[in-house]
Structure 1
Amino acid sequence: MATEQQKQSEQQHAESRDENLVDQVESSVNEADLAEEISEASAQQGAEPAELLVLAQARIDELTHELSEQKLRTAAEVQNIRRRAEQDVEKAHKFALDKFAQELLPVVDSLERAIDACQAEDDATVALREGVEMTLTLFLNSVAKFNLEPVNPIEQPFDPELHQAISMVDVPNMAANTVVSVMQKGYTLNGRLVRPAMVVVAKG
């Protein structure tokens, strides 16, 4: 919330600054300026009233053109500032849970390790494993609502953008740079990598 308010405040400040800039340019076209320039022109030797009028009109046209160009530049700058502010706010909303998601991942890892450890088939162990599996499923379904998705690239080509290779092994009948096993799943948040998957890759 603080980030959005700050962006809005910066945008309003920028727009106010640009409006003041336009006012400064507009103020350059006033009677005092024209009077001074006409007075300077009248000091020229042999200057006629008609010539003074032409000079004054030319200066008015020049200042009007400069003002028009400045307004266009200011409008473009304001539009760029507004667009950047909107993009910053969108990113802030989209990835506000980034650090929170990173804190949750060790919990997911622990639940998965607990399931792997419960391999015995006695009633107590089976019940424990089923309970942990239900908890993990509920947890993953909850975080998926916020677009936190696992990266589990088993038997997929190695992707350095999403995976981190910790070792390479010889595997018959498997193409080179294929993920043989996943030591730790990776995760993405709204398509952006939060943690790479730790994988073992085939040499080929």
Structure 2
Amino acid sequence: MTEESKITQEETAATDQAEANAAESQETLQQKLAEAERKAEENWDKFLRTQAELENLRRRMERELQNAQKYAIEKFAKDLLSVADSLELGLKAAVETEDLDKIREGLELTLKQLLTVFDRFNVRPIDPLGEKFNPEFHQAMAVEEVKGAEPDRVIKVFQKGYVLNDRILRPALVVVARPSAESQPRIDEQA
């Protein structure tokens, strides 16, 4: 064999080897590409499922929030039904009888029942008679001059106020004392 034919055979072998390596490399690349496409498809499916789950969760939370808002006072309302029943019975009894003591007793029991329901739900009355005026819980309807009264004290309550836990539902409507002009020192006496 000649040197030329040896070189040609080596070149052919090298070319064949390069082609084999290229084919193997291409096969490997195609396998890797197929694997990457499979993983991408899996991840896309996971993404779509997760997105659907989040949308379902969002809808469920909206529905639960609407129900919570809609029916938040359900227990309170159910407890008030017994008070309404008592008032209806009291009105019926008032028509049938003229005994004011029985009517008053029925009203007192109904009020006690109502206050028990309020207490169960942390609704507390504000009855500030004699207390210092507090604008957070009291609304002054008038100011009266009262001899011997401490200034800024509640001397009359027109309407009780109510708080729910620590939040004001309605301020108490009150009359506040102001010292009489006689009890205040005059400006010329101070000088």
Q: Same fold (TM over 0.5)?
A: no
Bigger radius of gyration: 2
TM bin (shorter chain): 0.3 to 0.5
TM (norm. structure 1) is 0.41
TM (norm. structure 2) is 0.44
